[in-house]
Chain A
Amino acid sequence: MVSAAGSFSRPPRFKPGDRVWVPARAALGHCRTPWYVRGKPGVVAAVHGSFRDPERLAYHRPGLPAQVLYKVRFRQLDVWPSYLAGQADHIEVDIYEPWLEPQP
């Protein structure tokens, strides 16, 4: 459920243009970070605002504090080892802040 789109419960860690990557760690139960972007590098395309954490909401917990949600853009070439079509092709995934780390 939409709780606070566009607003923030705490300052976002990342901003558009930041280079990030999705840590290749295991999910503990319900998770909205797809398997195919785990361990992959991307760029923050947009900052959506704060939303209640679905990983907690799924277990009847309030999901607070709200987590910042980002639109992260990945080059298809970085995501799929055998991606041949379209060097400029991208995939954009909405990812919650705990599932992003800054690229070194």
Chain B
Amino acid sequence: MPAPKRKTMLRQGAGGRAAHDVGGLAFGPIDRAEHDLALWEKRTDAMQRLLTSPGKRAFTVDGLRRVIEDYGEQAYDRTTYYEKWIRALRNLLVEQDVLTREEIERRMAEVRQKHQTAGRRVVKAKVPW
């Protein structure tokens, strides 16, 4: 996803304009290419709706937005919509003591291993906390 070439001082939060609060800034021409969602993105959307629904109420959509808004300008601009949301889901599940960091990290290692064993290349990078 295209990101500004340099870090600006425009969106620093803490009483000033926050990273997500972009109305009126200049981000260039609009790329109108259409993209299908990957299955993992649809599942992220599904889990978000289920976990914030009246039946579950693990947390609120507002909480998810708040977590996303705290990522900072660089991370905010360089990640896609669903990358932001799955990271927020993870963080709120930990914040609310539904899951622990350790079990998530352990399970991620298992998932990577499983797919590598099955012959799929898995990117080495981690998702920052």
- Chain B binder among A6-14, A42-50, A51-59: A51-59
Residue from A1, A27, A30, A60 within 8 A of B54 (CB atoms): A1
With contact pairs A1-B52, A60-B96 given, residues A30 and B23 touching in the complex (Cβ less than 8 Å)? no
Q: Does B101 contact A (CB under 8 A)?
A: no
Q: How far is the CA of A26 from the CA of B13 in the complex (A)?
A: 9
**Contact of A57 with B54 in the complex, beta carbons under 8 Å:** no
**Contact of B24 with A80 in the complex, beta carbons under 8 Å:** yes
What are the residues of chain A within 8 A of B16 when measuring CB–CB?
Answer: 26
Summarize B's interface: helix, strand, loop or mixed. loop
**On chain B, which size bracket covers the interface?**
10 to 19
Query: How many chain A residues touch B (Cβ–Cβ < 8 Å)?
Result: 16
Residue from B14, B23, B24, B63 within 8 A of A57 (CB atoms): B63
Q: Nearest chain A CB to B17's CB is how many angstroms away? A: 4
Write 23 A-B pairs (CB below 8 A) sorted by A numbering.
A1-B60, A1-B61, A26-B14, A26-B16, A27-B18, A30-B62, A30-B65, A30-B69, A35-B18, A35-B21, A36-B23, A54-B62, A57-B60, A57-B62, A57-B63, A58-B60, A58-B62, A58-B63, A58-B65, A59-B66, A60-B59, A60-B60, A60-B63
User: Which residues on B are within 8 Å of A, measured CB to CB?
Assistant: 14-18, 21, 23-24, 52, 54, 59-63, 65-66, 69, 96
